[in-house]
């Protein structure tokens, strides 16, 4: 009897499914980005879409650089805010014995982005709950007086969404590091005469920084490439890169379709580069 | 200070829920009224009577069940190999499985859209399920393989030495020992699939309409009460799951990562 | 009762170059209890895993009453293994754990219940059928694991360091209990351990396993007093070896000096050894004494352990109490009584 099947055999089904679907989808994406669109019998390789996008002249390309800037701004700001808040939350949580708080954090993590964005919309829009309360308090008279917090041109709504929604993920990473450290460091530092603030500054933060940074990069990649939230909480111009890419991918004009594909591939490349850096950081940590 | 932080923590968790519930059972609550003046179930009933609502929930449910089952069947042997064996190429297998978690669903969906149109899977339940599988499989594998890394094979050896055959060992020992992790992994897969919007849109192509698709359309410019009701229906399964798997969730929190 | 014969077993794990077992031979009489004694990594557990069918040998044969078992499915071999950890299934209670093997064979619930009851009585824990395994102490857990192993009436019982993680007092009790139960049932048993005193207490015969090979196999008292080779001798606690040319009843031991032998006919290159209990340390010269310098002197309760340097060789002597303490650096005479020197293979 063979008690242990080969590991390769065991991995084969999962790997084949992933490789075939991922490989084929990337293959077709690249094909279309080069203007080879079989459905309409167009099979001449052309770099037009790349040229249009990068030079900022095509149907979709005209917005490319603006959108890239917008996406980078929104992703960077959200990542920085959520990292800082996550660090605070984790340091606070690590001093708590209460498991319920960790559970609450996990609850946030499991809350779908789509629902969270919807809630923000109901809460922060110009006729939302907060605007109504402001009106009731006599601060504003008409909805237009309320500051534009969602669907605004600076991405405030999107940043607000991610800054809060990404806290749990990052906080759990930091918490994981803090809890895996031998309990002693903090005690030793205290014993050596370090104050509460000094222990935080010189003992805790250096310990968690590499993991937090690696996690923050993943978060950056996620925000940078996600569609739903900027589509719901953003406006028509400027719009995030994924929104732009999908809009033109679904465009009946097939030249625009290739440009949508090019933008999607550029997003993928950027996210993969960020992920590689994050992985390298995590490897170095070990 | 501590109480303030904790209060904030729970407000952020509970506020959206409260918001959805309040909005669901009101009608004609307009600016600038700070609170709804009357409570009604009219909108709720209207939304539930709309065949698209229940249809969307049912389709989403069917897809999520297919996706969880497929993930589980594919992930189980793979996770066992990754968690318990050392072999050449293990690192590469890890990376391959890690890849779908970083390649944006946007790019996957756009490419798959073309592929599935060619092979006739676009606009079908199976096609959407296969697309969702790409994003659930890595998490299922990681959850189970970390459980297998803690798993002691000697329980199986012990059963073998006590006269159990491989089939009996699988059902009496392996499955029993892995039950908690299997439950968690299945629920994760279910939830990821349940809340998937973009892949459903790109592969479903307007033929497969799940609840998130309905919600997204409503949220892009609909009646607040309708939005709230759909949100409520949408987060119901995740909320239930979290309530019932609290302890396991605490342990696996880091593996869920970001998936919605 | 089953007679076990293991012949020229070889085993090398995949992806490794060093064999775990090389030409492993062992024959066990029906109803006999044999210990496999060896340091960790010597291949003890691998032998048991091969017999149980968890691992496959590269070559060799295992016979139960003359019939090879290698082509029998592992779960039908009737060779039950018990580990250092009890591996009681956490999701089953005591009764269900003990009855596991019988249930797998399709035995009726009533029979299982009766057998479990009988087994619990045998291991001295009657009435704990419904207990959860998490509520058992370490010693109780191992007793239940033993009952679970015995309930199917296996041909061979294999115990892999079953007591190594228990406290001393629990461990001594269980040693006696296991020996008692084994005698009562007359079941052929292999007991694996790295602990010399446990190995001797638990066996009819004891095999010393070093680097995948049986280097000695005999009654415990024989192996303790007259180990056949240097490697085995070291493992049973001997650490003074005298190597050199012998002639006319004298041994010219390299680095130590001239030592008188009992056997005057011995000629040529040979190695002699002596147990630390037989070495005497005195302040004045006696017969067959060598000059030595005391390095340390430790009180061990039942004996005084003296570390002493003779020429350029270090050795330990265990002196029965009462004995005088020696000072560090003190010059003494180390007496090696000729009747206790025995020859070992190099």
How many contacts (CB atoms, under 8 Å) link A and B?
A: 248
Query: What local confidence, expressed as pLDDT, does residue C321 receive?
Result: 85
The ipTM assigned to this model is: 0.88
Distance from CA of C81 to the nearest CA of B (A): 6
pLDDT at C308 over 90: yes
Is residue B44 in some structural domain? Answer: no
Per-residue model confidence as pLDDT tens digits over B25-48: 887 777 777 777 778 888 888 888
Among B33, B81, B260, the residue with its CB nearest the CB of A11 is B81
- Domain boundary, last residue among C181, C206, C229: C229
Q: Which domain holds residue A90?
A: 66-285
CA distance B177 to chain C (A): 8
B217 domain residue, yes or no: no
Which range, of A265-269, B28-32, B148-152, C170-174, averages the lowest pLDDT?
B28-32
Assess B6–C contact: CB distance below 8 Å, yes or no: no
Chain A interface test: which of B99, B102, B222, B242 (most A C-beta within 10 Å): B102
Nearest CA to B138 among B108, B115, B163, B112? B108
Computed over every residue of chain C, the mean pLDDT equals 91
For C101, the closest of B86, B157, B163 (CB atoms) is: B163
Domain for residue B25, yes or no? no
Probe site for chain A from B36, B107, B146, B231 (most A CB atoms < 10 A): B107
Question: How does pLDDT run across C96-111, given as a tens digit for each residue?
Answer: 999 999 999 999 999 9
Any domain includes A59:
no
Q: What is the pLDDT of residues C152-164, one digit of tens each?
A: 899 999 999 999 8
Q: What is the pLDDT of residue B257?
A: 42
Q: How confident is the model at residue B248 (pLDDT cuts 50, 70, 90)?
A: low
- For residue B224, give the chain A residue with the closest CA: A122
3-state class (DSSP) for residue C160: strand
Which chain B residues touch A1 with a CB distance below 8 Å? 166
**How many angstroms away from the CA of A7 is the closest CA of chain C?**
13
Residue B12 domain-assigned (yes or no): no
pLDDT at A184: 65
Distances (CA, A) of C108 to A173, B38, B158: 52, 67, 22
Per-residue pLDDT tens digits for A25-56: 999 999 989 988 776 777 788 888 898 888 88
In this structure, is residue A39 part of a structural domain? Answer: no
Poorest-confidence range of A204-213, B248-257, C132-141? Answer: B248-257
For chain B, say whether A216 makes contact (Cβ under 8 Å): no
pLDDT of residue B215: 94
In this prediction, residue A183 carries a pLDDT of: 63
Residue of C nearest to B160 (CA): C75
Per the CB < 8 A criterion, the answer to whether C210 and C185 are in contact is no
The residue of chain C nearest to residue A3, with distances taken between CA atoms, is: C54
CATH code assigned at C174: 3.40.50.300
Residues C257 and C202 in one domain: no
Residue A6: inside a domain, yes or no?
Answer: no
Q: Are the C-beta atoms of C100 and B160 separated by less than 8 Å? A: no
Q: Structural domain of residue B166, as residue ranges?
A: 60-208+252-256
Degrees, nearest 5: CA angle C269-C271-C273: 160
Nearest-CA residue of chain A relative to C74?
A1
**pLDDT of amino acid B239:** 81
Q: C200 vs C16, which has greater pLDDT? A: C200
pLDDT band of C187, cuts 50, 70, 90: very high
C264-300 pLDDT, tens per residue? Answer: 888 888 899 999 999 999 888 888 888 899 999 998 8
Q: Quick one: C225 and C276 in the same domain?
A: no
- B214 assigned to some structural domain: no
Residues B55-106: pLDDT tens digits?
999 999 999 999 999 999 999 999 999 999 888 899 999 999 989 988 999 9
The position carrying tokens 């002693």 is: A184
Instruction: Indicate yes or no: CB of B260 within 8 angstroms of CB of A112.
Output: yes
- Cβ atoms of A249 and A260 within 8 Å: the answer is yes
Interface residues of chain C, partner chain A, Cβ below 8 Å: 53-54, 73-74
The predicted-structure confidence for C212-232, as pLDDT tens digits, reads as follows: 889 999 999 999 999 999 999
A37 within domain boundaries:
no
CATH of the domain at A155: 1.10.3720.10
pLDDT value at residue A59 = 77
Reported confidence tier of residue A286, pLDDT bands at 50, 70, 90: low
Q: How many domains does chain A have?
A: 1
| C96/C221 same-domain check | yes
Q: What are chain A's partners, defined as 3 or more CB pairs within 8 angstroms?
A: B, C
- The winner for highest mean pLDDT among A171-180, B174-183, B243-252, C220-229 is C220-229
CATH number of the domain where residue C329 is located: 2.40.50.140
Query: From C82, which residue of chain B is nearest by alpha-carbon distance?
Result: B158
The rounded mean pLDDT for chain B is: 87
Whether B152 contacts chain C with CB within 8 A: yes
3-state secondary structure of C102: helix
Report pLDDT for A182: 66
User: Are residues C225 and C242 part of one domain?
Assistant: no
**Exposed (0-12), middle (13-18) or buried (19+): which is C187, by Cβ within 10 Å?**
buried
Considering only CB atoms, which chain B residues are within 8 Å of A266? none
Q: By residue range, what is the domain housing residue C222?
A: 4-229
**Interface-testing mutation among B10, B31, B248, with chain A (most A C-beta atoms within 10 A):** B31
Residues of chain C found within 8 Å of residue B161, distances taken between Cβ atoms: 52-54, 74-75, 79-81, 149, 158
For residue C27, CA distances in Å to B15, C5, C33, C65, C280 come to: 75, 4, 11, 11, 39
Q: How far is CA C236 from CA B17, B141, C272, in A?
A: 72, 49, 15
How many domains are contained in chain C? 2
């Amino acid at each position: 009897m063979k008690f242990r099947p080969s590991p390769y055999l065991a991995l084969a089904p999962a790997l084949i499914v992933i490789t075939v679907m991922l490989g084929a989808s990337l293959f077709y994406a690249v094909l279309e980005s080069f203007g080879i669109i079989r459905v309409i019998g167009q099979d001449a390789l052309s770099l037009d879409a790349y040229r249009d996008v990068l030079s900022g002249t095509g149907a979709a390309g005209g917005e490319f650089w603006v959108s890239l800037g917008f996406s980078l701004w929104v992703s960077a700001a959200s990542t920085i805010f959520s990292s800082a808040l996550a660090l605070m939350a984790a340091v606070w949580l690590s001093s708590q014995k209460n498991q319920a708080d960790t559970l609450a954090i996990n609850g946030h993590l499991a809350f779908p982005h789509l629902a969270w964005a919807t809630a923000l919309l109901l809460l922060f829009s110009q006729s939302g709950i907060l605007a109504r309360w402001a009106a009731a308090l006599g601060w504003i008279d008409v909805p237009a007086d309320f500051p534009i917090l969602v669907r605004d041109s600076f991405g405030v709504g999107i940043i607000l969404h991610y800054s809060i929604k990404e806290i749990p993920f990052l906080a759990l990473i930091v918490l994981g590091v803090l809890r895996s450290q031998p309990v002693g460091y903090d005690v030793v530092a205290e014993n050596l005469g370090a104050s509460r603030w000094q222990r935080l500054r010189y003992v805790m933060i250096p310990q968690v920084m590499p993991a937090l940074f690696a996690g923050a990069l993943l978060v950056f990649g996620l925000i940078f490439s996600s569609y739903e939230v900027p589509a719901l909480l953003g406006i028509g111009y400027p719009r995030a890169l994924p929104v732009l890419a999908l809009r033109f991918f679904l465009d009946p004009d097939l030249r625009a379709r290739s440009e949508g594909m090019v933008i999607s591939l550029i997003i993928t490349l950027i996210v993969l580069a960020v992920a590689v850096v994050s992985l390298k950081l995590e490897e170095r940590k070990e | 200070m501590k109480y303030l932080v904790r209060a904030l923590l729970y407000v952020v968790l509970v506020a959206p829920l409260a918001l959805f519930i309040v909005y669901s059972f009101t009608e004609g609550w307009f600016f600038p009224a700070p609170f709804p003046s009357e409570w009604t179930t009219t909108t709720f009933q209207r939304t539930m009577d709309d065949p698209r609502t229940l249809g969307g929930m049912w389709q989403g449910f069917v897809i999520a069940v297919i996706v969880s089952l497929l993930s589980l069947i594919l992930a189980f042997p793979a996770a066992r190999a990754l968690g318990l064996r050392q072999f050449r190429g293990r690192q590469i297998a890890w990376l391959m499985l890690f890849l779908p978690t970083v390649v944006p669903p946007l790019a996957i969906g756009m490419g798959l859209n073309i592929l599935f149109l060619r092979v006739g899977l676009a606009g079908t339940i199976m096609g959407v399920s296969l697309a969702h599988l790409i994003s659930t499989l890595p998490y299922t594998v990681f959850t189970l393989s970390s459980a297998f890394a803690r798993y002691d094979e000697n329980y199986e050896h012990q059963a073998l030495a006590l006269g159990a055959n491989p089939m009996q060992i699988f059902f009496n020992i392996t499955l029993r020992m892995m039950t908690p992790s299997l439950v968690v992994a299945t629920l994760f897969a279910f939830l990821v699939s349940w809340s998937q919007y973009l892949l459903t849109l790109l592969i479903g192509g307007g033929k497969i309409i799940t609840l998130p698709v309905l919600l997204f359309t409503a949220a892009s410019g609909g009646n607040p009460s309708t939005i709230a009701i759909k949100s409520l229906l949408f987060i119901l399964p995740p909320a239930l799951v979290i309530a019932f798997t609290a302890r396991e969730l605490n342990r696996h929190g880091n593996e869920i990562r970001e998936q919605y | 009762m089953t007679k076990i014969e293991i012949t020229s077993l070889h085993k090398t794990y995949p992806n490794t170059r060093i064999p775990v077992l090389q030409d492993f031979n062992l024959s066990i009489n029906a109803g006999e209890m044999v210990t496999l004694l060896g340091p960790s990594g010597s291949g003890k557990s691998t032998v048991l895993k091969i017999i149980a069918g968890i691992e496959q040998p590269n070559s060799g044969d295992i016979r139960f009453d003359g019939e090879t078992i290698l082509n029998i499915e592992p779960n039908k071999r009737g060779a039950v293994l018990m580990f250092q950890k009890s591996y009681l299934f956490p999701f089953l209670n005591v009764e269900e754990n003990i009855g596991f093997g019988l249930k797998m064979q399709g035995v009726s619930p009533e029979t299982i219940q009766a057998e479990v009851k009988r087994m619990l009585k045998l291991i001295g824990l009657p009435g704990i059928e419904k207990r959860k395994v998490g509520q058992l102490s370490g010693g109780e857990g191992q007793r239940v694991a033993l009952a679970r192993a015995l309930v199917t009436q296996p041909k061979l019982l294999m115990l892999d360091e079953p007591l190594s993680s228990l406290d001393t007092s629990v461990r001594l009790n269980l040693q006696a209990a296991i020996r008692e139960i084994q005698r009562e049932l007359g079941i052929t048993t292999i007991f694996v351990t790295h602990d010399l005193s446990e190995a001797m207490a638990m066996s009819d015969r004891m095999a010393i396993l070093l680097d995948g090979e049986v280097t000695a196999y005999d009654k415990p008292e024989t192996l303790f007093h007259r180990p056949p080779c240097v490697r085995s001798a070291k493992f049973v606690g001997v650490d003074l070896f005298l190597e050199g040319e012998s002639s006319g009843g004298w041994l010219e031991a390299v680095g130590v000096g001239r030592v008188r032998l009992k056997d005057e006919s011995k000629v040529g290159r040979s190695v002699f050894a002596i147990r630390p209990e037989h070495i005497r340390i005195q302040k004045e010269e006696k017969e067959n004494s060598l000059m030595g310098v005391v390095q340390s002197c430790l009180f061990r309760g039942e004996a005084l352990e003296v570390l002493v340097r003779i020429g350029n060789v270090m050795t330990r002597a265990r002196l029965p109490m009462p004995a005088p303490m020696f000072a560090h650096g003190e010059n003494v005479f180390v007496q090696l009584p000729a009747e206790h020197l025995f020859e070992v293979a190099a």
